[in-house]
A = this chain, B = another copy of it.
Amino acid sequence: MKIGVFDSGVGGLTVLRALVPRIASAQYLYLGDTARLPYGSKSRATIARYAISSSRFLIEQGCEFLVIACNTASALALEEIRETAAPFGVPVVGVIAPGAAAAAAASLTGDALVIATSATVESRAYSAACRAQNLGAIEKACPLLVPLVEEGWIEHPVTADVVDIYLSELHREAADLGLDPDTLVLGCTHYPLLRGVIEAAVGRLWRERPLRVIDSAEATAREVAGRLGAIPAAEDAEGLVPRFYATDSVAKFRQLGSRFLGRPISEVQLVDLGG
């Protein structure tokens, strides 16, 4: 079984990292569309165009299952990707619905908060997915968090300040609406790297009611494992290492990606998607 995992950059490696121990016998192909990132600040039409060409590449490489490990592409182009994959009989799972389902399972008050990129928030995809789970949600765009992670300012006072500013605004907004949230969804695959800083700010701001922080990478991996069931191990399953593809500098992908994957990435292949 070949599983394709796609993101605009290296953030989706947090999803791959959650998938590998759950479905160890699969062959993984990971594509980071780094020449055209970030998606989070762009328009729906552009995001859909990029996501479709990326998905098509993975299908051409023989992938039988696609995981859209990019919140922005999942929020704005999941239907278009499914239409692209359907003629090949390739199922597609995004990160939004699993994240919303995990939030609904975790919430006791029925109110959740979501932080994500501008494009994801503007699409209101999380609000819709949460509503389908009887969960109320308010969303907040945090456009500086991705650049801060990319700069490597993970445990950094400036990052702590920026997180504090965004979450304080969200805290005020929730209070103004009279909501009682108990769950915070990390609606971007870069954000799990800032989990420490985010949890510290959450602890300060929501003293009276601690928030549970939901990482959609774990929820998505569970969803994929459930959909695929038990997969017979390939004969050489032990030797299967994920294959990595990037549309821009493979050196940068290796260096930054290792941080997201949690272990070194040795080989990355450069692909041209015609951008």
A275 interface residue (CB < 8 Å to B): yes
Q: How many copies does the complex hold?
A: 2
Q: Once the chains are docked, how many angstroms separate the CA of A175 from the CA of B238?
A: 54
For A158, give its contact among B36, B150, B162, B274 (CB under 8 Å): B162
**CB-based contact A50/B275 at 8 Å:** yes
For A49, give its contact among B42, B162, B275 (CB under 8 Å): B275
Cβ–Cβ < 8 Å partners of A35 in chain B: 36, 42, 46
Interface residues on A, range: 20 to 34
Interface residues of A in 165-192 (CB under 8 A from B): 165
Q: Once the chains are docked, how many angstroms separate the CA of A50 from the CA of B35?
A: 10
A148 interface residue (CB < 8 Å to B): yes
**CB-based contact A249/B42 at 8 Å:** yes
Q: Once the chains are docked, how many angstroms separate the CA of A274 from the CA of B158?
A: 38
Interface residues of A in 252-268 (CB under 8 A from B): 252
Cβ–Cβ < 8 Å partners of A150 in chain B: 41, 143
A223 interface residue (CB < 8 Å to B): no
A134 interface residue (CB < 8 Å to B): no
Interface residues of A in 139-155 (CB under 8 A from B): 143-144, 146-148, 150-151, 153
Cβ–Cβ < 8 Å partners of A247 in chain B: 46
Bits for A187-212, please: 1 = Cβ < 8 Å to B, else 0: 00000000000000000000000000
For A144, give its contact among B50, B151, B252, B274 (CB under 8 Å): B151
A161 interface residue (CB < 8 Å to B): yes
**CB-based contact B43/A248 at 8 Å:** yes
Q: Once the chains are docked, how many angstroms separate the CA of A147 from the CA of B38?
A: 11
Cβ–Cβ < 8 Å partners of A165 in chain B: 158
Cβ–Cβ < 8 Å partners of A252 in chain B: 43
Cβ–Cβ < 8 Å partners of A50 in chain B: 275
Cβ–Cβ < 8 Å partners of A143 in chain B: 147, 150-151
**CB-based contact A36/B161 at 8 Å:** no
Cβ–Cβ < 8 Å partners of A162 in chain B: 158
Which 7 pairs of residues, A with B, have the shortest CB-CB distance?
A: A43-B249, A147-B147, A275-B275, A35-B46, A46-B248, A42-B248, A43-B248
Supplied contacts A35-B36, A43-B252, A143-B151, 13 more A-B pairs, CB within 8 Å: A34-B42, A35-B46, A36-B275, A42-B249, A43-B248, A43-B249, A46-B247, A46-B275, A50-B275, A144-B153, A158-B165, A274-B274, A274-B275
Residues of A within 8 A of B (CB): 34-36, 41-43, 46, 49-50, 143-144, 146-148, 150-151, 153, 157-158, 161-162, 165, 247-249, 252, 274-275
